[in-house]
Copies of this chain bind each other. A is one copy, B any other.
Amino acid sequence: MREHTFTTVGEVKRKKGEIPEIGIAVIGFGFMGKAHLNAYKKIPYIYWPPVVKINLKKLCGIPEEQVKENQIRYGFKEYTTDWKELIKDEGIQVFDNCGPTNLHKEPCIEAAKAGKNIFCEKPLGRNAGEAKEMLDAVEKVGVKHMCGFNYRFVPAIRLAKDLIEKGELGQIYHFRARYLQEWIADPNFPFVWRLSKKVSGSGALGDLGAHSIDLARFLIGEPKSVMGITKTFVKERPKAEGSREKMPVDVDDAVAVAIEFENGAIGTLEASRFCPGKKSQNIFEINGSKGSLSWDMLRLNELQFYSTKDEAKGIGGSRTISVTESFHPFYKEWWPHGHIIGWEHTTIHEIKHFLEAVVKGEEISPYGATFEDGYKCAVICDAILESAETGKRIEIGY
């Protein structure tokens, strides 16, 4: 892991005894944009006393009518439809990119050049090449950078990481994960930007599988090789609901992968948008010589943990840990145990982590994903696509 030193560029100005203020710019207010905006609204009163004063400076998006309305809705000082205005604005220290994937590279690189700290949603680029350019840009300038792998900020997953680091699982033998959704199983579901390679780079792989890949790296370590198959089940779709005009789908609808890790573990990955009933089943399971772990996004407050320590007494069994105690990761600011948090909280924890690193000059890694993690994930995604195309095992090399 390379060092991320905090330099003077984009640095937050402080006056003695005052809470430092950060000027924030956000691109996008759709799904992930809304999740980020929610985080910026909640952080000021949830984390107390505050370590940072959030100044919602500029919201960027299209169409103008909507961005204008969302400016008011979320309380931004200004709005724009041109991301370049964000770059120019010297009052902005954090550049938060929630735009579609084809709008990640250029804006982020320009923002880096302007010395802004950058949070970019995943996938970082449409492919490893783009991601590498982005990584190089932020490293050259030395700004803080983070890539939106929010599942690292689930309390149960952080607890999983803690258990693995403490050796509670012993030597890791297996990692298996899948991220399954259902929303395009119907062939008449209309075309959307996520189905265009030009916009998204890949399909289920970059959208869903990227999360599993990042969790694998976060929890288990670097992959050594991959072998995979991709499939596009529905090759064209109506341009809009009920429309006769068709649009070609040129990304993967689903992917299946056999994976091998540097530490010797093996396992499988799957991502698909063709699984009826799977509202958003992001799930993983890990087996080691001393125990096993598993997690499911639909019950995100729970961690399943099996320890061989209990076996001798005849009472070994997979435990359902309700990761909602005040001493569990991220939980002390929330509610009494058993009063669960939801998906949105993962983003709150993540952005809080980023802002704190920016103002305190702390490390993003290893708990937060950086552009380096975004890049490595892209390398692995590209290797999977290459394996699917060539029918060969592809060794991972960054």
Which residues on A are within 8 Å of B, measured CB to CB? 31, 35, 37-38, 41-42, 45-46, 48, 69, 73-75, 159, 163, 171, 173-174, 176, 178, 180-181, 185-187, 225, 227-231, 233, 254-260, 264, 266-270, 272, 274-281, 287-292, 297-303, 305-308, 310, 314-322, 324-325, 327-328, 334-345, 387, 391-393
Contact = CB atoms under 8 A, between A and B. Distances in A.
Contacts of A173: 185, 233, 254, 272, 274-275
Nearest 10 CB-CB pairs, A to B?
Answer: A280-B338, A279-B338, A277-B306, A317-B319, A391-B393, A342-B342, A317-B321, A268-B268, A227-B227, A339-B343
A12 B378 CA distance: 55
Contacts of A180: 287
B340 A300 contact: yes
Contact of A270 (B187, B228, B267, B281): B267
Contacts of A327: 314
A233 B319 contact: no
Oligomeric state, in number of copies? Answer: 4
Contacts of A186: 289, 308
Nearest to A231: B266
A291 B182 CA distance: 10
Q: Which of A31, A185, A269 counts the most B-chain CB atoms under 10 A from its CB?
A: A185
Contacts of A73: 45, 48
A174 B334 CA distance: 30
A216 B334 CA distance: 28
A312 to B, nearest CB: 9
A111 B8 CA distance: 55
Nearest to A280: B338
Contacts of A41: 41-42, 45
Contacts of A276: 287-292, 306-308
A254 B315 contact: no
B227 A316 contact: no
Given A38-B46, A256-B268, A299-B299, 19 more contacts: A173-B233, A174-B272, A225-B229, A227-B227, A227-B229, A229-B393, A231-B260, A231-B266, A272-B287, A275-B287, A277-B318, A278-B287, A279-B325, A280-B337, A298-B301, A310-B319, A319-B319, A339-B342, A342-B345
A324 to B, nearest CB: 6
Nearest to A322: B279
A297 B338 contact: yes
Contacts of A320: 317-318, 320
Contacts of A274: 173-174, 287, 289
21 contacts: A38-B42, A41-B41, A48-B73, A173-B185, A173-B233, A173-B274, A186-B289, A227-B393, A233-B264, A268-B268, A268-B270, A276-B290, A279-B322, A279-B325, A281-B338, A297-B340, A298-B322, A298-B340, A303-B317, A317-B319, A318-B320
A48 B337 CA distance: 31
B75 A270 contact: no
Contact of A392 (B302, B337, B392): B392
A69 B351 CA distance: 24
B335 A31 contact: yes
A114 to B, nearest CB: 28
A327 B312 CA distance: 10
